[in-house]
């Protein structure tokens, strides 16, 4: 594989998309900044993980007549934060979604996603919702409302964040989000499950890529499972007794007749031996009734062999047939659902992206639009980690994500770089690193 794609490819792609963003402003000779300038300015701020990034670049432009905003991000004019908020507020976030699919296709076409194929050659795609804004005062028409017992009302924004993940890969590749917002013509509050259904409907073309949807117990309901199968997706979903009483009644009846298949594996984890016990049954009804969906059920229990302490216990349902060969892999895939929380949502909240910070709520779509730009910045970083060997090496040496972006912001504040490659080469030289071999 050669590094034929990288930072410049990603910037070129977002330029193409940003050029097509709608401009709802009335024509006026006083308009100084384009929609593209505003979107690029916000994206560069999220990419650098620095709220002051644009002010630094404006200062460089005034002093030197040029700035890294032009050379790296190809921004013609640098708007202020308030100008960015006002310009972008009326634009819906779905105008940005094509960047996510384009990045996925580019990575796949160049072979960078092969390590993500797991069970039966499928990709694992965990889905989960997360809250990124809450207030008792600030709100907009897209906020979800919570009425508390004390009579107070709180307003929030939530989003579903699907990602591509693999069991032993610390890097996830984010897909386009689906926002949990009040839906036109619907009286009930929106929820994660409905958001997931909309995402699947909109992205049914991905089924041809051989995708396994992973999720918690919230998603292991017959309508959602049927939708996945209808659209061509596979699933491995958490299944708890409290929410699947009929299914677990069948499990109990199989246990009484000793028709439950089971086996165990003992292994050393580096500190002590642990024993993993698997129990599984094929073709169980997911709920009571006639002509209901039949699924396959597997339970896993991991114990410390010395103390008998339970280290992990869970159960999953899937459309894949179960046997002693497939069960450990299916369970390993099912447990990978945690990566959407640990490697995506928590990273976005605690590793410099400040997902829960209110960058600007706006009156229309600003909050969702900026959140999507933040996700695009995270996608760009994941993209570079996959394709750019210099970026990979520097990130590895500097260890912490925040360290790299602190250095990135400091360098671009004081020094001009005519390209991304110029910046990477400079950091290599200062760190006294050997340039990686391409390929």
Q: In the chain, where are the structural domains located?
A: 1-112+357-439, 234-334
pLDDT band at 383 (very low <50, low <70, confident <90, very high): very high
Least Cα distance to 67 among 87, 93, 90, 48 occurs for 48
Place of tokens 């090496």: 393
Which whole number is the average pLDDT over 44-61? 93
pLDDT at 133 over 70: yes
- Confidence grade of residue 187 (pLDDT, cut at 50, 70, 90): low
Q: How many CA atoms lie within 13 A of 58 on its CB side?
A: 11
Determine the Cα angle at 83 with ends 362 and 93, to 5°.
50
Distance CA 6, CA 384 (A): 6
- Confidence class of residue 185 from pLDDT cuts 50, 70 and 90? low
- Hey, CA dihedral for 377, 378, 379, 382, is it positive or negative? positive
Which range among 45-49, 140-144, 413-417 shows the weakest confidence by mean pLDDT?
140-144
pLDDT band, very low/low/confident/very high, at 29 (cuts 50, 70, 90): confident
Position 2 scores a pLDDT of 45
Instruction: Summarize the confidence of residues 30-55 as an average pLDDT.
Output: 94
Tens of pLDDT, residues 189-228: 789 999 999 999 999 999 999 999 999 999 999 999 999 9
The residues facing 316 across adjacent strands are 238, 298
Q: In the Cβ-directed half-sphere of 288, how many Cα atoms lie within 13 Å? A: 4
For residue 146, CA distances in Å to 139, 190, 291 come to 12, 12, 37
- For residue range 239-267, list pLDDT tens digits in order: 999 999 999 999 999 998 888 999 999 99
Residue 304, CA distances (Å) to 195, 216, 299 in order: 39, 25, 17
How many Cα atoms within 13 Å fall on the side-chain side of residue 354?
A: 13
Q: Is the pLDDT of residue 1 over 80?
A: no
């Amino acid at each position: 594989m050669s590094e034929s794609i990288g930072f410049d490819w990603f910037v070129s792609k977002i330029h193409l998309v940003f050029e097509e963003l709608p401009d709802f402003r009335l024509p006026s000779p006083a308009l100084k900044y384009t929609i593209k300038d505003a979107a690029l300015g916000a994206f560069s701020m999220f990419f650098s993980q620095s709220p002051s990034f644009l002010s630094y670049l404006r200062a460089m432009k005034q002093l030197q007549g040029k700035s890294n905003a032009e050379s790296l991000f190809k921004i013609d004019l640098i708007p202020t934060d308030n100008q960015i908020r006002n310009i972008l507020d009326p634009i819906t976030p779905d105008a940005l979604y094509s960047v996510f699919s384009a990045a996925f296709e580019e990575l796949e076409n160049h072979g960078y996603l092969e390590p993500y194929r797991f069970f039966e050659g499928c990709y694992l795609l965990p889905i989960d919702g997360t809250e990124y804004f809450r207030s008792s005062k600030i709100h907009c028409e897209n906020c979800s409302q919570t009425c508390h017992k004390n009579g107070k009302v709180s307003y929030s924004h939530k989003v579903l964040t699907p990602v591509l993940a693999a069991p032993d890969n610390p890097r996830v590749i984010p897909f386009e989000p689906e926002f949990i917002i009040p839906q036109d013509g619907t009286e009930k509050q929106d929820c994660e499950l409905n958001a997931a259904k909309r995402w699947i409907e909109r992205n049914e073309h991905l089924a041809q890529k051989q995708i396994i949807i992973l999720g918690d117990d919230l998603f292991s309901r017959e309508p959602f499972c049927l939708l996945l199968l209808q659209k061509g997706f596979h699933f491995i979903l958490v299944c708890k007794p409290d929410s699947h009483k009929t299914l677990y009644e069948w499990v109990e009846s199989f246990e009484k007749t000793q028709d439950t298949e089971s086996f165990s594996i003992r292994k050393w984890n580096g500190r002590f031996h642990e024993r993993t016990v698997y129990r599984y049954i094929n073709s169980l009804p997911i709920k009571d009734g006639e002509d209901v969906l039949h699924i396959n059920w597997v339970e896993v229990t991991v114990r410390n062999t010395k103390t008998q302490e339970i280290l992990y216990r869970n159960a999953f349902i899937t459309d894949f047939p179960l046997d002693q060969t497939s069960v450990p892999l299916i369970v390993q895939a099912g447990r990978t659902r945690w990566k959407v929380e640990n490697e995506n949502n928590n990273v976005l909240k605690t590793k410099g992206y400040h997902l829960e910070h209110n960058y600007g709520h706006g009156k229309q779509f600003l909050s969702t639009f900026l959140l999507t730009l933040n996700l695009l910045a995270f996608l760009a970083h994941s993209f570079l980690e996959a394709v750019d060997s210099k970026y990979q090496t520097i990130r590895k040496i500097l260890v912490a994500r925040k360290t790299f972006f602190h250095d990135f912001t400091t360098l671009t504040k004081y020094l001009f770089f005519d390209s991304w490659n110029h910046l990477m080469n400079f950091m290599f030289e200062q760190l006294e690193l050997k340039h990686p071999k391409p390929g």
